[in-house]
Copies of this chain bind each other. A is one copy, B any other.
Amino acid sequence: MKATLIYGAGDVRVEEVPDPVIVDPTDAVVRVVRSCICGSDLWPYGSKPASEKGQRIGHEFLGVIEDVGADVNGLSRGDLVVAPFVWADNTCDFCTEGLHTSCRHGGGWGFGGVDGGQGEAVRVPQAQGTLVKLPVAPDSALLPSLLTLSDVFPTGHHCAVTAGVSQGSSVTVIGDGAVGLSAVLAAKRLGAEQIILMGRHTVRTDIGREFGATDVVAERGEEGIAKVRELTGGDGTRQVLECVGYEDALNTAFGVVRAGGTVSRVGVPQYQQVTAGRQFFMNNITLTGGVAPARAYIEQLMPDILEGKINPGRVFDVTVGIDGVPAGYQQMADREALKVLVAP
């Protein structure tokens, strides 16, 4: 079969690899129907040291089950399923608490002999715990939105939930990438009344408005902070959703958060040090968020998609076949594409 490998910065290739087969009795093999490229895939695409050995990549997919191991219950050949971006047993104490990203028997796609998601098929470890059935046909028009359940929509949702967004909240979302837009949608879904989206790409912030943003602030840095404060009577918002991952974005978050408020970040931090000293302390600011346990949220978020209430798949603006994946990376890196859908 064909699968995507990354060899280093700017070097993504689609190659022939062995077809996946059941290895452990807890495995399943899934034929990928839809996959996609994540903003977080752009980090290695931008900076990974070159290597002679490629690494499988991609961690978002839905597809049809082709085979199941002897210990997998509740899943059968032909089922359409979605996979969260971390596989997990869904039974350990961490999973039970909803923190599947810390599962005691889980792991990431593309590492340690596990397939990546940007390929034609995937061996899924801990299949029973990992995969969630989708009650639609494999040609459903809902596939793009259901695919967002793998990562981007639960990531936005995790950001909103950990920040404490609820009915009537006033929220700032930093970043107009697919995660930021998903965070807007999630905040709206949780009842936020004022949603200030900080972003300067009109095509994207327009989707943000569709998703529920009440205000858009294009300015950045101190100017952007002043603008958000102006929109909030000088105080900032109680919840701030940081969906970028750069230190500048985090500092903007600290600049627009109200005293006693919470900054949640889901943009993978491209920094180690956080400026959170005296002022942060005197204002009782909370820093939370982290890698989203998508698996914990899938069943909860799916009904609104099935009922057509929300359309998180709006973040996909380019579709490619498997051979188009390398070009898709480049389009996203160049900001020509917001998020690339892959139909292998």
Contacts and interface: CB of A to CB of B under 8 A. Distances in A.
Contacts of A291: 281-282, 284
Contacts of A290: 280-285
B272 A268 contact: no
Contact of A287 (B97, B275, B276, B278): B276
Contact of A284 (B283, B284, B289): B289
Interface string A90-128: 000010010101100000000000000000000000000
Nearest to A238: B97
A192 B119 CA distance: 49
Given A101-B284, A286-B286, 18 more contacts: A97-B260, A101-B282, A102-B284, A162-B286, A265-B281, A269-B277, A269-B278, A272-B275, A272-B278, A273-B276, A273-B277, A274-B276, A276-B287, A281-B289, A284-B289, A284-B290, A286-B288, A287-B288
Contacts of A273: 273-277
Interface in A286-303: 286-291, 293
Contacts of A274: 273-277
Contact of A286 (B281, B283, B287): B287
A42 interface: no
A287 B259 CA distance: 15
Interface residues on A, range: 20 to 34
Interface SS majority for chain A: mixed
A268 B287 contact: no
Nearest to A293: B284
Residue with the greatest number of chain B CB neighbours at <10 A, chosen from A265, A273, A278, A284 = A284
B276 A102 contact: no
A289 to B, nearest CB: 7
25 contacts: A99-B260, A99-B284, A102-B283, A102-B284, A268-B281, A269-B276, A269-B278, A269-B280, A269-B281, A272-B275, A272-B276, A272-B277, A273-B273, A274-B277, A276-B287, A280-B290, A281-B289, A282-B291, A283-B290, A284-B288, A284-B289, A284-B291, A284-B293, A285-B290, A286-B287
Contacts of A94: 259-260
A259 B286 CA distance: 17
A287 B282 CA distance: 14
A289 B284 CA distance: 6
Contacts of A287: 276, 286-288
A29 B286 CA distance: 36
